[in-house]
Amino acid sequence: MPYETIQSRIKERPHHASFPVELPEMCIRLHGVNSNSLALDPFLGLETTTLAAKKLGCNFIGFGIDPIYMDEAIRRAND
């Protein structure tokens, strides 16, 4: 799977378990995408799965507890 090289983990991927958006996108596509699709991520982190679901037009529900990661996730969603 192609991905962008991370030059600075703290600056570009501050979460210890980050992965490219293409990974959850492939998983969502594998499951099937339609107008009623709903993706669930019980461990939001930087919300990479949210970005994939948004890109595919899926509804999304997720849970996160760390405000530092949530701030970064919001920034990424608005880029």
Tokens representing residue 52 in the block: 């994939």
Q: What is d(CA 75, CA 57) in angstroms, rounded to the nearest whole number?
A: 20
pLDDT band of residue 39 (cuts 50, 70, 90) is very high
Neighbouring residues of 42: CB distance < 8 A, sequence distance ≥ 6: 62, 63
User: Of the candidates 60, 47, 39, which has an alpha carbon nearest to the alpha carbon of residue 19?
Assistant: 47
Q: What type of residue is 54?
A: K
The percentage of the chain sitting over the pLDDT mark of 90, rounded to a whole number, equals: 25
Q: Is 69 exposed, middle or buried (0-12, 13-18, 19+ CB in 10 A)?
A: middle
Mean pLDDT of the chain: 80
Span 7-27, pLDDT tens digits: 665 555 556 667 788 889 999
